[in-house]
Each structure stands twice: as structure tokens, then as C-alpha cells.
């Protein structure tokens, strides 16, 4: 495999565009598969990314198309980044380029999502990946990369271990200002992210979603809001630990599961309040993607993200009443959005 990679990102909205743009900017060939308006804007004017690395327009090494059959050449890494509900259709469309794909992965939230790729491309071509980079599509051709983590991405073989193809992808991301690591147990990373994201998403969407002006820090800096967050987190940590894992905080500082697990309830609440007060002026406007979906009147991916944890809780007889309560609130909103749409 050449040091200059061809990376195809299927579902290039905000996150996919940021990943693809930075990889192209670092010298790799990138093909984005996106909606027509975004693809047209990128091809005509370049991709404008602003935020944590300043303001840049990326034109070199970057091509945008609207369907997989328009992708030209062998693909070193195919990255699926559509919404979960669109994944099956996207992979079906990607059958047109199956012979071009050397390695496939998805960086969507959730667990078990790799099974669709395995069915389509074969187990030997599929690896695991996870990312927490913050990105929002502002308008066609323009995305905001508002937040990152010291390590924003992880890659690993689904059967465990790291291989040259894993290390090469992690190095490519790191060289593109998307700090990444190869790991021996990618399943651990995937499950911990589900715990982290499900806790934050269920809490923020059910607590703050009715008032568009509120962000993550507004909620967690209030005592009652912090208490609600810690309660949900503790429930999900109990499920995670019953599965045989221990919190690692792969995505610190956004993940602080270890602190919640090791502290008393009141200590954890006070730490969350302090974090909210400290971070609000530094990174205002931070929301979970589920919170953003509700604010924008879109149906959430609550079932896809939350149900694996619900099933594990039942399996190990772990009580998660607060988390289930938040889930019911979100599903009620989703059901009414469906009626309106």
C-alpha cells in the first residue's frame, strides 16, 4: 500500500468533510460522497473548513461525487459516515465499487455496525474505527470544526490486535491534525464510546432539547443538571463494568467516566459543575449530535445508539431507570416529529 492513500468517505456531511478535508490537505487523495449541493460547492470553490485550525479552503487532492459509482480508482480505505438509518442503503450502493475497496470501516456511533460492512465486503477487509471530532456542516461547501480531543480517533482489527494497515491509517490521521492511535482492543473503545455518548446524548437531548439556545455546558453547570447527568452515567458505567470492562477515558477530557466511577456522587456532581463553568467561555455552543437533531427538528438515532446498552443491562440484570426515562422522553419527541414530517 502506497504512503499516499486514496480514502473514500461515504456520507460526507460535517464530520466526513472535516476528516476528508484534513487528509487531502496533508497530501492524501480523498473522494467525498455527499449530497449534490455540497459536492457541487466543493468541486467549484473548494472545501472551506474553519474553527480550531483557523480558516482554510482545500482544493488539492479533493474530489466530491454524489454516488459511489462515480469514484475513480482503487480505494485504500472506504469510510462509512452516513446516518445509521441510511447505512444499509449506502452500503448497497457501494457494491458498485466493491472491487476497488481494499479496506472498509465505519466511524459511526454505536456498536455492531461493522456487520453490514462484513456482509458486503467480507470480514478480511473490515476493520474497526471510532472518532469524536466535533464538526458541523454550516452550508454546502463550508464546515465548522469546533472541537477535538488529544486523541480523537482509534483504529483496530475487529478480532483484536493492530496490523500495518491499522497503523498506517492512524498515522495518516495523526499527520492530518486528527490525532489517532492504533489499539489492541477496538471493541473496548467502541463500547466505552457508546457508554459515553449514550449518557451525554440521552441527558442533553431529554434535558435541553426544548430550548434551542442552550448548550451542553449550560446544563451540566447547574446542580440539578449535573446530578441528572451523573445518575445516568453511573447507571451506564455499571452496565459497562458488568461486561468486563473498566473505564479508560479514551476521549478525555470529554470522557470523564473514570472520575464518575471512582468518586462519590457529590464529588462527581461538583466536578461536572466546575467543568461546565470552566468550559462554557472556552468552547461555547457545544452540543451532542442528538441534541442538534432535536433542535433542528430531525429524528434522532436513539434506538441505534441506546438499544445495545439496554440489551446488555437486561442480560446482566443491571437497573438503568434514569437512562430509560430519558430514552422514553426522546422517543416521545421522535414519534411526534415523525407525525409532523
Does some domain include residue 268?
A: yes
* Structural domains counted in the chain: 2
Boundary (domain end) residue, out of 159, 184, 209: 184
Q: Is there a single domain that holds both residue 37 and residue 138?
A: yes
- 110-119: list long-range contacts, CB under 8 Å, 24+ apart: 110/84, 110/194, 110/301, 110/304, 110/305, 110/308, 111/187, 111/190, 111/191, 111/194, 111/308, 112/308, 113/84, 113/87, 114/158, 116/87, 116/88, 116/91, 117/80, 117/91
Does some domain include residue 46?
A: yes
Does some domain include residue 249?
A: yes
Q: Is there a single domain that holds both residue 12 and residue 153?
A: yes
Does some domain include residue 108?
A: yes
CATH assignment of the domain containing 194: 1.10.1040.10
CATH assignment of the domain containing 150: 3.40.50.720
Alpha helices in 82-208 (DSSP H): 87-93, 114-121, 164-175, 186-208
Burial class of residue 26, CB neighbours in 10 A (0-12, 13-18, 19+): middle
The 10 Å Cβ neighbour count of residue 292 is 16
Do 72 and 166 meet the contact criterion of CB atoms below 8 Å apart?
no
- Look at residues 247, 165, 174, 210 and name the one whose alpha carbon lies nearest to residue 330: 210
Determine how β-strand 153-156 pairs with β-strand 142-147: unpaired
The mean of the pLDDT values for the chain is 95
Q: Is there a single domain that holds both residue 34 and residue 114?
A: yes
The confidence score (pLDDT) of residue 341 equals 62
The confidence score (pLDDT) of residue 287 equals 87
Residue 95: give the domain boundaries. Answer: 6-184
Q: Is there a single domain that holds both residue 28 and residue 171?
A: yes
Please state the rounded mean pLDDT for residues 256-268: 97
Does some domain include residue 287?
A: yes
Share of the chain above pLDDT 90, in %: 86
Question: How much of the chain is in helix, strand and coil states, percent to nearest 5?
Answer: 50, 15, 30
Q: Is there a single domain that holds both residue 232 and residue 314?
A: yes
Strand partners, 10: 33, 80
Residue-wise pLDDT for 304-323, tens only, equals 999 999 999 999 999 999 99
Strand partners, 57: 48
Q: Is there a single domain that holds both residue 169 and residue 196?
A: no
For residue 273, give the C-alpha cell.
459543575
Q: How far apart are CA 209 and CA 212, in angstroms?
A: 7
Q: Is there a single domain that holds both residue 149 and residue 76?
A: yes
Strand partners, 47: 58
Please state the rounded mean pLDDT for residues 137-147: 95
Q: Is there a single domain that holds both residue 147 and residue 204?
A: no
Q: How far apart are CA 258 and CA 249, in angstroms?
A: 6
Residue-wise pLDDT for 7-46, tens only, equals 999 999 999 999 999 999 999 999 999 999 999 999 999 9
Q: How far apart are CA 214 and CA 204, in angstroms?
A: 10
Does some domain include residue 1?
A: no
Q: Is there a single domain that holds both residue 164 and residue 262?
A: no
Please state the rounded mean pLDDT for residues 98-125: 95
Strand partners, 58: 47
Which residues does 264 contact at the CB level (< 8 Å), separation at least 6? none
Q: Is there a single domain that holds both residue 64 and residue 26?
A: yes
Q: Considering only residues 2 and 92, tell me which one the structure prediction assigns the higher pLDDT.
A: 92
The confidence score (pLDDT) of residue 16 equals 98
Please state the rounded mean pLDDT for residues 250-269: 95
Collapsed DSSP state (helix, strand, coil) of residue 139: strand
Boundary (domain end) residue, out of 184, 205, 222: 184
Does some domain include residue 33?
A: yes
Does some domain include residue 334?
A: yes
Q: Is there a single domain that holds both residue 158 and residue 16?
A: yes
Q: Is there a single domain that holds both residue 196 and residue 69?
A: no
Boundary (domain end) residue, out of 127, 155, 184: 184
- Per-residue pLDDT at 274 exceeds 90: yes
CA angle 264, 268, 272 (to 5 degrees): 170
Amino acid at each position: 500500500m502506497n504512503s499516499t492513500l486514496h480514502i473514500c468517505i461515504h456520507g460526507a456531511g460535517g464530520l466526513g468533510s472535516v476528516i476528508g478535508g484534513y487528509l487531502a490537505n496533508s497530501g492524501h487523495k480523498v473522494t467525498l460522497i455527499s449530497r449534490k449541493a455540497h459536492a457541487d460547492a466543493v468541486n467549484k470553490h473548494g472545501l472551506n473548513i474553519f474553527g480550531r485550525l483557523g480558516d482554510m479552503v482545500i482544493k488539492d487532492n479533493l474530489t466530491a461525487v454524489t454516488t459511489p459509482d462515480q469514484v475513480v480508482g482503487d480505494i485504500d480505505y472506504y469510510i462509512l459516515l452516513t446516518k445509521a438509518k441510511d447505512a444499509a442503503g449506502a452500503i448497497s450502493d457501494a457494491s458498485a465499487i466493491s472491487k476497488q475497496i481494499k479496506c472498509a470501516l465505519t466511524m459511526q456511533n454505536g456498536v455492531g455496525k461493522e456487520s453490514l460492512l462484513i456482509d458486503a465486503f467480507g470480514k478480511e477487509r473490515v476493520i474497526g474505527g471510532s472518532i469524536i471530532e466535533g464538526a458541523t456542516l454550516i452550508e454546502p461547501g463550508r464546515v465548522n470544526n469546533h472541537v477535538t480531543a488529544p486523541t480523537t480517533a482509534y483504529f483496530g482489527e475487529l478480532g483484536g490486535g493492530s496490523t500495518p494497515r491499522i497503523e498506517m491509517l492512524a498515522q495518516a490521521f495523526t499527520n492530518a491534525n486528527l490525532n489517532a492511535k492504533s489499539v489492541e482492543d477496538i471493541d473496548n473503545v467502541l463500547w466505552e464510546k457508546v457508554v459515553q455518548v449514550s449518557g451525554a446524548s440521552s441527558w442533553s437531548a431529554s434535558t435541553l432539547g426544548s430550548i434551542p439556545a442552550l448548550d451542553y455546558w449550560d446544563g451540566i453547570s447547574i446542580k440539578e443538571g449535573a446530578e441528572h447527568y451523573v445518575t445516568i452515567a453511573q447507571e451506564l458505567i455499571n452496565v459497562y463494568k458488568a461486561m468486563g470492562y473498566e473505564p479508560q477515558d479514551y476521549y478525555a477530557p470529554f470522557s470523564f467516566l473514570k472520575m464518575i466511577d471512582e468518586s462519590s456522587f457529590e464529588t462527581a456532581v461538583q466536578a461536572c459543575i466546575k467543568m461546565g463553568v470552566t468550559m462554557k467561555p472556552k468552547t461555547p455552543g457545544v452540543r451532542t449530535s442528538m441534541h442538534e437533531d432535536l433542535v433542528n427538528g430531525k429524528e434522532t438515532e436513539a434506538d441505534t445508539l441506546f438499544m445495545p446498552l439496554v440489551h446488555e443491562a437486561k442480560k446482566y440484570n443491571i437497573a438503568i431507570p434514569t437512562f430509560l426515562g430519558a430514552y422514553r422522553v426522546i422517543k416521545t419527541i421522535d414519534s411526534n416529529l415523525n407525525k409532523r414530517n
